[in-house]
Amino acid sequence: MKKICSLFALVLLSGCSLNRAAARVTSGVIDNGLPSVFSQSDPQYVKEALPANLQLMEMLLESHPHNKRLLVNAAQGFCGYALMFLEDESPERASGFYAKGEAYAARALKGGAPAAAKKCDVPPLFWNTFCKALYINVNRDNPVAMAELPTLEPAIEKLLALDPSYYYNGPQTLMGAYYSMRPRMFGGDPDKAKKHFELALKGAGEAFLLNRFLYARMAAVAAQDPELFESLLNAVISAEPKEGGTRLPDEVAKIKAKKLLEKKDELF
């Protein structure tokens, strides 16, 4: 009997080890494969296909819950899917995806405060902050969500200190969004928002169309500058498609820019 129990225990332990090994291998495949997802030119195809991949990542995290690379990919996946495909039609569903993305990135940070972050923590810190910022933005009528707005600033300041160019100058975009979302009486500043968005459009961020789209949607609206709003969105719409790792978000930005431009009279 003891031999049978020992054999059974060994099988269980082997199964757990195999699950963890499979999770490690598959997480590497996902990490290497994500660029191909963002290189797709057909947003509808990705909209239909990506949820299965997000579910796969969640299943893998059950077996390997502390895999930092997988946690960061899950955060980026949930956040990106919500921004590209859910926000406009279903802000409530988008909120749930943003909350998931924020939680996964927080797990990758192991509860560390932004002040303690190192260069290797930039990816999870960025996606944690980006997901939180977008969650707040779609819940501006929720006082509990808006109360979290001041917590963004120290995280963004740390990102700007560690790697301001990360993800196509993403920290600059985040700071621009932060100053756009804050009410003026509580530190909101459209001019500072514009300054950071302009910095986001330098270097690698210049051709990343989501930067320009968010500039229009956030800072131009906050500043009540319809000329800037129209100019930015028309630049997105008229941009020539480029092959590579930004093709999908660029295509989505063009679609979203057309829809937003149609709402100009409602926003100004």
Cβ contacts of residue 92 below 8 Å, gap of 6+?
none
> Which pLDDT tens digit goes with each residue over 109-144?
998 899 999 999 999 999 999 999 999 999 999 999
What percent of the chain has a predicted confidence (pLDDT) above 90?
80
Q: Is the pLDDT of residue 224 over 80?
A: yes
Q: Which of 254, 244, 245, 243 is nearest to 216 (CA)?
A: 254
CA-based diameter of the chain, in Å? 81
Mean pLDDT of 3-15: 43
Cβ-based burial of 259 (10 A; exposed 0-12, middle 13-18, buried ≥19): exposed
Q: What is the set of domains in the chain, with CATH numbers?
A: 39-142 (1.25.40.920), 164-268 (1.25.40.920)
* Number of neighbours of residue 11 by Cβ within 10 angstroms: 10
What percent of the chain has a predicted confidence (pLDDT) above 70?
87
State the DSSP code for 41.
S
* Number of neighbours of residue 21 by Cβ within 10 angstroms: 12
Mean pLDDT of 220-247: 96
Q: Is the pLDDT of residue 61 over 50?
A: yes
**What local confidence, expressed as pLDDT, does residue 17 receive?**
53
Taking the model in full, what pTM does it have?
0.89
Whether residue 158 contacts residue 117, with contact meaning beta carbons closer than 8 Å, is answered with yes
> Which pLDDT tens digit goes with each residue over 10-48?
444 445 454 666 556 555 556 666 678 889 999 999 999
C-alpha to C-alpha distances, 177 to 88, 167, 197, 213, 225, nearest whole angstrom = 18, 15, 8, 12, 15
Q: Is the pLDDT of residue 191 over 70?
A: yes
Question: pLDDT grade, residue 4 (50/70/90)?
Answer: very low
Mean pLDDT of 51-66: 92
> How many whole angstroms separate alpha carbon 165 and alpha carbon 169?
4
Cβ contacts of residue 217 below 8 Å, gap of 6+?
260
